[in-house]
């Protein structure tokens, strides 16, 4: 047993140490991940996003071709490994003003494999035009807008900037909500299969659910900032004689109030200093999972019709957003010109100068992950960073001086687009700690 653990630790240490060269080798020869480098897939933290993405699509299309080879009638003979297998056309005739419901009804009755392999061919009612790719691209974007339409009650915007979305626990007001969630899961899956970028951004906790990972109380910040602060205060302070709650939670469904026990007889069990961590875990699970578990389950039923569960799990939450929504085009000059400084920092402070030097040295993926780390999403407003959204409306990017030891990693408050940056003593120290922070953030902090 100890030898197995020792070997696993050695493997992790070795791959971490040689991460850069391993990614370069895989980038030059992607087939290595299906051969001599296949073990790297079991330590996806080492792989860069572009290498994971290449492996993902190779596996996705190879699996699809293999599963349908018997019925393909030779249509896929001679197909290159990793290329998309051929499929029949999925002809859709939809009204532009009713694109969501029309598409929903035309997807009903189709199998996941049929949708996965099929070539989308869209015609908008009373509009001319042959779909050579442009019309279906427009169809995907129209669906991405409509799935968040408040009239369907499927999703609600998060508090963090109101540009990311979370399943609505009251979606049951729509009688067909679970069928719609399954449809949305299929649309997201189909967009991934067809490599169509969607203007659709979800909360960190919802990405975790798609990946089968545990949520953490810190994920609450995007949903309810004040409640998150309350949970944080409970964990960081002695609550003896100052906190009068039980293992229960009150919920409001359109004015109907009811109490939910977090554990059996929870209303009779007081929260104490000794059991407060368990209370925070359970109340987080209730609000971020159990309250929307039916919606999550229906979405995943549709999503997994097209995307294998084990394959999508090679990504982390940040990378899943980039897979669905694409890599942002970040204008560093615009970003810098619309940044505020607090706590003693100014634009001329050495750590601030080093920060922007580091950002300029980052590649596109690293800049996207930094944005996700601080703002909660990689989405950049169409009007630029001057219109970056916070929980109270427009909120520019902020850099605050973080006091304390310079061994600390930078931290962030996504509701305020705020980066707390320690006073590092060198550019190298700042850059390495910043990269570590945005990398470690992506792994999440699930309860064990």
**Residues carrying an active site annotation:** 415
Q: Where are the alpha helices (DSSP H) in 199-275?
A: 204-211, 225-236
Distance CA 423, CA 433 (A): 11
d(CA 392, CA 385): 16
In the structure, how many helices (H) and strands (E) does the chain have?
A: 17, 12
Instruction: Please list the alpha-helical segments (H only) found in 267-361.
Output: 276-288, 293-303, 309-312, 317-325, 332-337, 350-361
Q: Tally Cβ neighbours within 10 Å of residue 69.
A: 15
* Helix, strand, or coil (residue 357): helix
In this structure, is the dihedral angle defined by the CA atoms of residues 17, 368, 364 and 40, taken in order, positive or negative? positive
d(Cα 122, Cα 289) in Å, to the nearest integer? 36
Strands 89-94 and 119-124: parallel
The CB-side HSE value for 98 (13 A sphere, CA atoms) comes to 9
Return the percent helix, strand and coil in the chain, to nearest 5: 50, 10, 35
Residue 288 CB partners (closer than 8 Å, separation 6+): 205, 215, 219, 220, 223
Q: Which string of b and e fits 41-54 if b means at least 16 CB within 10 Å?
A: beebebbbbbbbbb
Strands (E), 39-135: 89-94, 119-124
Beta bridge partners of 18: none
CA distance 157 to 167: 9
Angle between helices 177-193 and 317-325 (to 10 degrees): 80
């Amino acid at each position: 047993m100890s030898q197995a653990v020792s070997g696993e630790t050695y493997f992790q240490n070795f791959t971490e140490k040689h991460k850069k060269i391993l990614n370069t080798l895989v980038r030059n020869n992607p087939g290595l991940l299906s051969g001599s480098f296949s073990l790297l897939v079991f330590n996806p933290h080492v792989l860069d996003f572009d290498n994971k993405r290449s492996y993902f699509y190779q596996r996705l299309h190879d699996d699809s071709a293999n599963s349908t080879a018997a019925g393909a009638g030779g249509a896929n003979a001679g197909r290159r490994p990793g290329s998309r297998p051929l499929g029949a056309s999925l002809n859709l005739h939809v009204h532009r003003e009713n694109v969501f419901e029309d598409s929903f009804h035309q997807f009903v009755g189709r199998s996941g494999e049929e949708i996965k392999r099929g070539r989308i061919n869209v015609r908008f009612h009373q509009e001319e035009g042959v779909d050579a790719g442009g019309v279906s691209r427009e169809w995907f974007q129209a669906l991405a807008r409509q799935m968040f339409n408040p009239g369907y009650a499927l999703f609600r915007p998060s508090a963090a900037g109101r540009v990311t979305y979370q399943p609505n626990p009251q979606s049951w007001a729509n009688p067909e909500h679970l069928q719609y969630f399954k449809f949305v899961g299929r649309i997201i899956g189909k967009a991934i299969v067809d490599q169509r970028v969607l203007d659709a951004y979800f909360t960190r906790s919802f990405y975790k659910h798609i990946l089968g990972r545990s949520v953490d109380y810190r994920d609450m910040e995007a949903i309810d900032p004040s409640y998150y602060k309350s949970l944080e205060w409970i964990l960081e302070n002695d609550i003896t004689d100052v906190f009068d709650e039980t293992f229960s939670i009150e919920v409001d469904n359109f004015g109907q109030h009811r109490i939910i026990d977090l554990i059996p007889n929870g209303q009779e069990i007081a929260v104490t200093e000794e059991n407060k961590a368990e209370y925070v875990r359970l109340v987080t699970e209730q609000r971020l999972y159990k309250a929307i578990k039916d919606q999550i389950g229906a979405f995943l039923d549709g999503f997994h019709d097209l995307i294998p569960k084990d394959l999508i799990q090679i990504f982390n939450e940040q990378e899943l957003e980039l897979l669905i929504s694409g890599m942002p085009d970040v204008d560093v000059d615009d970003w810098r010109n619309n940044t505020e400084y607090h706590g003693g920092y100014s634009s001329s402070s050495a750590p601030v100068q080093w920060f922007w030097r580091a950002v300029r040295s980052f590649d596109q993926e690293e800049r996207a992950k930094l944005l996700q780390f601080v703002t909660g999403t990689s989405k950049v407003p169409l009007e630029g960073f001057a219109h970056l959204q916070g929980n109270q409306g427009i909120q520019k990017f902020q850099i605050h001086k973080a006091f304390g030891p310079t061994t600390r990693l930078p931290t962030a408050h996504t509701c305020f687009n705020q980066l707390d940056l320690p006073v590092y003593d060198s550019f190298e120290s700042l850059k390495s700690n910043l990269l570590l922070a945005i990398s470690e953030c992506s792994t999440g902090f699930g309860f064990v």
